[in-house]
Amino acid sequence: MRRDALMIVGLAVLGVAAAGSGESAHAQELIGGVPQDTLAPVRRTVLSPWGAFWRSLVIPGWGQSELDAKTRGAVYFVAEGASVWMWIRTQRRLDHARRLFPEEHPLVSSRKQQREDWIALTLFWAFFNAADAWVTAHLHGFETKPIPVPGEAVGLFVGWSLPLDLSDKHTSNP
């Protein structure tokens, strides 16, 4: 039990470390004497939505990582890794129960059900991760947070329209 918990914590630490790797202190980097964070963002890679989908299906979080969503990619990597680990762990427990008891024993059927649950969760995370990479690729390059311009008023516009037909349909022209 303790070894399994340590393995899951290790996967989480690895995922968070992978998300943070490659990050730099933007305020300290100068390009042409101008701090990098004041320059317009440059798209690092051109990745199609289907390319991101397949990358994330092969290695969880790969598509998000290529699209500069490293933290989200790390979360998917950890979730998928933990699900696979629990699937393997449950399979080992099922094999052990099969060695001790006949196939009809309640413990064996319980372990089978647990294995099926972990397989389903692993497949869910795999396809949810790939779908998220596909959406992330479609939305890559859009500004995520609206930033108000200093000195300008910020407001909300609510509108309502009523269609009116002003044509003269009742007049007959000879």
Please state the domain count of the chain: 1
- Is position 50 within any domain? yes
Residue-range definition of the domain harbouring residue 124? 2-139
- Is position 166 within any domain? no
- Is position 14 within any domain? yes
Q: Calculate mean pLDDT across residues 1-18.
A: 60
For residue 35, give the DSSP letter: E
Q: Calculate mean pLDDT across residues 11-19.
A: 56
- Is position 80 within any domain? yes
Dist CA 79 CA 10 (whole Å): 12
Q: Which of 4-18, 28-42, 105-119 is the least confident region?
A: 28-42
- Is position 91 within any domain? yes
pLDDT interval class at 24 (50, 70, 90): very low
Phi, psi angle pair for 34, to nearest 5°: -115, 130
Of 2-11, 14-23, 34-43, 141-150, which one has max mean pLDDT?
Answer: 141-150
Dist CA 26 CA 18 (whole Å): 18
Alpha-carbon distances, residue 156 vs 66, 142, 152, 153, 159 (angstroms): 35, 21, 13, 10, 10
- Is position 158 within any domain? no
Give 106-153 pLDDT, tens digit per residue.
999 999 999 999 999 999 999 999 999 999 898 887 766 667 778 777
Give 65-113 pLDDT, tens digit per residue.
888 889 999 999 999 999 999 999 999 999 999 999 999 999 999 999 9
* pLDDT at res. 69: 86
- Is position 160 within any domain? no
Largest CA distance in the chain: 100
Nearest to 75 by CA among 60, 55, 88: 60
- Is position 21 within any domain? yes
